[in-house]
Amino acid sequence: MELINKTQRILEIFNELNRIPRCSKKEERIAEWLLHWAKCHKLECAKDDVNNIVIRVPAKGGYQGAPGIILQGHMDMVCEKNSDTVHDFSKDAIQSYQEGDWLKAKGTTLGADNGIAIAMALALAEDETIFHPPLELLFTVDEETGLMGANSLQPGFVTGRTLINIDSEDEGVFTIGCAGGKATLFKQKQYPSATPNDYLAAEISIKGLLGGHSGIDIIERRANANRLLVRLLHQFANRCEIRLISANGGTAHNAIPRESSAAIAFHRKDEEILKDITSRFQKELALEFQTLEKNIQIRFRETAHSEKSIDYPQTLHIINFLLVLPHGVIYLSDTLPGVVETSVNFARVRVNQQNAETLTSQRSLNSGALSELVSRMEALARLAGFTTEHIHSYPVWAPDWHSPLLERSKKIYRSLFDKDPAVEVIHAGLECGIIGSKYAGMDMVSIGPTIKHPHSPDEKLQISTINKVFHFLVSLLQDFKQ
């Protein structure tokens, strides 16, 4: 079929979305914008108690008898920026620019995950020349911090039983299953004491890492800034009696930490020893990650004396606990070659004068393996005297290799592009698992244009894949005419 190129219009809508703040848990303005858009286009819409939005688009061109189709994406984005980037996500627009075939952002995440889904759905719905079945455009909130919007969906909010999720990140790949997950917060009360007068203070920072998506990129063994910081602190503590003042690393549960830092106090006689350890560690990491991490930066900078700090025995206890926290791939899949089955991300660490906290995110394609990993994390916390709180979880989306929607999708893709699409199960969380558990009989597939390095300031969207996915989407919808 001939289809006018919609790339420019889709990017116009996407750029408009990128002027609206939409960090996770702060989607009020984007939700209101969507309601206004629906009103301007005279379309029925609804908002639930948590700001999930559904826009109902009537059938066009004789498709009134076709089954209703849900197009689904999420409103929020991971708000990450480089430490030297001046940007306030609560009010500043994302500054995007084109470089060859890629759309990028200046020092921040781009928000293509998942703003491009909204842009594509709206571009389709507003075009009176495109015929299609009845559509429900379902846009959820708070996906990135634990699929909270999908978890809050109520019976009857959508009525269709065929769902096309537009949150995958490789054109030509259909996703039909994903990992389930659970994030765990560890916490221990701290009781700092007076820092000796003959102690100095310094900040140790690690930055310049690739970071990335803790599900998709975990198999690549990218360096985790929190892990590197803890390793360095452990070397310090083995040679000198250091005292922790604070630590701060990582942000989101689903992002591999790119930057991490700690403030420590130490006896003035040990300053050169600590600087030498830092220098040696920098060289050690350059060799260890020589083929992957090209820009690891470690800085040791003297700071003002801190009146209080955590004494050496407790500092060592915290460091030892953080050192044994697992990170990375736990198991590879036995049935899906090259796919991670189970993993954990050492996502965040916060130490201050009141508490020591850390956040980990466990994922698995196997619910039993996930349960076992979570139990291990809880046991580790008990041994170290930390409390645990599971702040969110989401179910496994088990693949249906005989899905009617999948078969239809493969047929359409083959007819358009004269090749077979890839079909995969991913080690990341998609809302399909939750939506399928809430609405019985839901047939689902996930698609999307190519996005690289989501959840990091290196995120980029391949422009040439946008219209290819849009062309496929329209063709798929038009195949539902009976």
Catalytic residue annotation: 76, 143
Provide the β-strand partners of residue 392.
Answer: 183
Q: Give yes or no for a contact between 136 and 70, defined as CB atoms under 8 angstroms apart.
A: yes
Q: What number of other Cβ atoms are within 10 A of residue 111's Cβ?
A: 26
Integer CA distances (angstroms), 305 to 62, 164, 200, 323, 433, in order: 75, 57, 6, 26, 51
Beta carbons within 8 Å of 358's beta carbon, 6+ residues apart: 185, 186, 226, 322, 325, 346, 348, 349, 350
In the numeric block, the tokens 């996906």 are attached to 143
Ramachandran category for residue 126: left, alpha or beta (phi over 0 → left; psi -120 to 50 → alpha): alpha
Q: Give yes or no for a contact between 178 and 430, defined as CB atoms under 8 angstroms apart.
A: yes
Tell me phi and psi for residue 130, to 5 degrees: -100, 120
Q: What number of other Cβ atoms are within 10 A of residue 354's Cβ?
A: 10
d(CA 145, CA 23) in angstroms, rounded, equals 10
